[in-house]
Chain A
């Protein structure tokens, strides 16, 4: 799924962004962090839909509920699976930004960059799993999922973009500014991680 569907989709999205901005290198370098996270979030929707289709297609989610599988375990399993795929995707997208947009990654910003990726990914995975479970049982899940998820992950989009800007030294961003955004991303991940684990059972039950 990740290699044959999501990665090509994300790669094409990055390319299209380049076309939309008229291949202006100066602009692309400036907005690259935001474009990377936008492509990540669009790809998140695909990954979440696929993650729940694995069970939804043949009623395995119901079967797991009947089998007494702990809903928190299902939530954590799905969130961890999503997080691993998202991390791989983000690394590839950053590489694409370097190749397509001429972005550079200074050595001093690597720690901030990695921390940002990890904390933002945890938040995205938690939100995606929570709303994926909610949308999985509804008939209009294809449209319901983005409608629920994209507004909810807006803080991650903003925070992760600012933090990556700081890590890459894009525009006027300072390295120290980035850590504040990482703090926000971490709080977001913890809140949705804990809240999602607790709410997931009742959500898929109803």
Chain B
């Protein structure tokens, strides 16, 4: 049984809020630029092309939550410009993996390097480059939407224009701007948090169920934002159970099962083919993490 989703293009022609990202360091291959015909799926576990080293490199990493080994020998490599979907059942270690990459958890064993910083010795060094959106939104309830976004933008010295663009990007610029966060709905809070993340101009986005609470338009806005950020050189890790949407977004899928990362993961290559104006991606069974992914063109 296959679930199918349609991805209707990724190009976004509007002012970029991602310009300040250091694009020149990486040879980025935007998702939309990868063309193909029949072999829409590659199981090649290797990384995408990049001129610099990996953004994330984990080798046999063990991390614990208290006494519980939340990650038990995780090995993974992620390169610049990739959008990697972390897929796995509840409690598999996806959130732990994201928090580890954000420098919030100590590495008990193994080698973990993120943005060139060894997490065993320099967890603080990686943090300014990272934007983390966890299950919680990380907002100050008593501050307004604009004040929250301004706060997070200020941590990287974002200008007023950049902050305004970030708010506009996530649809919280107008009537919501002066509303205290405690009065917002769950979806509006999520949008505000994402606007803060955009304003931070992170080079590595770590997103845990980012679509949670968003309406259809919010999800579309988010996906477009992520694609644009990746095209500008940002690297994105997404943990999600909304597989159809997340798979349509990802350039690669990595399974996380029982604290272990399946090596390499499955790389998705997709693009428009002759006679097909829209890309269609069919995901196979979601039962096993990192299972087979098949892509097909619409023949209808």
For the complex formed, measure the closest distance between the CB of B266 and the CB atoms of chain A, giving whole angstroms. 29
Contact between A58 and B137, CB atoms less than 8 A apart: yes
Interface majority SS (helix, strand, loop, mixed), chain A = helix
CB distance A67 to B152 under 8 Å?
yes
Give every chain A residue within 8 A of B123 (Cβ-Cβ): 205
B132 touches A66 (CB 8 A): yes
Does B219 belong to the interface (CB within 8 Å)?
Answer: no
CA distance A57 to B135 in the complex (A): 12
Taking CB atoms, residues of chain A closer than 8 Å to B132 are: 62-63, 66
Check: B6 CB closer than 8 A to any chain A CB: no
Residue B294 is within 8 A (CB to CB) of chain A in the complex: no
CA distance A64 to B135 in the complex (A): 15
- What are 12 of the A-B contact pairs (CB < 8 Å)? A57-B141, A58-B140, A59-B135, A59-B136, A63-B138, A63-B152, A65-B104, A66-B102, A66-B104, A67-B127, A67-B128, A206-B106
Other-chain contact of A54, B106, B137, B142 (Cβ < 8 Å): B142
**Nearest Cβ distance between residue A196 and chain B, in whole angstroms?**
19
**CB proximity of A48 to chain B, nearest CB, Å:** 17
B128 contacts A68, C-beta separation under 8 Å: yes
Bound complex: CA A62 to CA B123 (Å) = 13
A55 interface residue (CB < 8 Å to B): yes
Of listed A54, A60, A66, A69, residue having the most chain B CB within 10 A? A66
Tell me whether B104 and A60 are in contact (CB under 8 A).
no
Q: Kindly list chain B residues whose C-beta atoms are within 8 Å of the C-beta of A205.
A: 123
A58 touches B104 (CB 8 A): no
CA distance A79 to B104 in the complex (A): 24
Question: With a CB–CB cut-off of 8 A, which chain A residues contact B130?
Answer: 66
The 3 closest A-B pairs by CB, nearest first: A63-B138, A59-B136, A68-B128
Q: How far, in whole Å, are A55 and B155 apart by their CA atoms in the complex? A: 16
* B contacts, CB < 8 Å to A: 102-104, 106, 123-124, 127-128, 130-132, 134-142, 152, 155-156, 189, 200
For B136, list chain A residues within 8 Å (CB). Answer: 58-59, 62
Chain A residue with Cβ nearest B135: A59
Q: In the complex the two chains form, is B127's CB within 8 Å of A66's CB?
A: yes
Task: List A44-88 residues whose CB lies under 8 Å from chain B.
Answer: 54-55, 57-60, 62-69
Interface bracket on A:
10 to 19
A66 to B200, CA, bound (A): 11
Question: A68 contacts which chain B residues (CB < 8 A)?
Answer: 124, 127-128, 155
- Rounded to whole angstroms, the CA-CA distance of A170 and B137 in the bound complex is 52
- Smallest Cβ distance from B205 to chain A, in angstroms? 11
- Contact in complex: A60, B127 (CB < 8 Å): no
A66 — which chain B residues lie within 8 A by C-beta? 102-104, 127, 130-132
Whether A60 pairs with B155 at a CB distance below 8 angstroms is no
Q: How far is the CB of A3 from chain B (nearest CB, A)?
A: 14
Give bound CA distance, A180 to B293, whole Å: 76
Residues of B contacting A206 with CB < 8 Å?
106
With A68-B128, A69-B155 given, is the CB distance from A62 to B140 under 8 Å?
no
The distance from the CB of B291 to the nearest CB of chain A, in whole angstroms, is: 31
**With A and B bound together, what is the CA distance between A69 and B135 in angstroms?**
20
A94 to B113, CA, bound (A): 56
Given known A-B contacts A54-B142, A55-B140, A68-B124, A62 and B104 have beta carbons under 8 A apart: yes
Q: Do residues A58 and B155 form an inter-chain contact, with CB atoms below 8 A?
A: no
Q: Known interface pairs A66-B130, A67-B155. Does A54 touch B141 (Cβ–Cβ under 8 Å)?
A: yes
Q: How far is the CB of A2 from chain B (nearest CB, A)?
A: 13
Nearest CB on A from B278, distance (A): 37
Chain A residue contacts of B134, Cβ below 8 A? 59, 62
Contacts A66-B103, A67-B128; A54 near B200 (Cβ below 8 A): no
In contact, A65 and B127 (Cβ under 8 angstroms): yes
A58 and B102 form a contact (CB under 8 A): no
- Does A60 lie within 8 Å of B103, measured CB to CB? no
B156 nearest in chain A by CB position: A67
Q: How far is the CA of A58 from the CA of B128 in the complex (A)?
A: 20
Q: A58–B141 contact, CB under 8 A?
A: yes
Report Cα–Cα, A62/B131, bound state, in Å. Answer: 11
CA distance A57 to B127 in the complex (A): 21
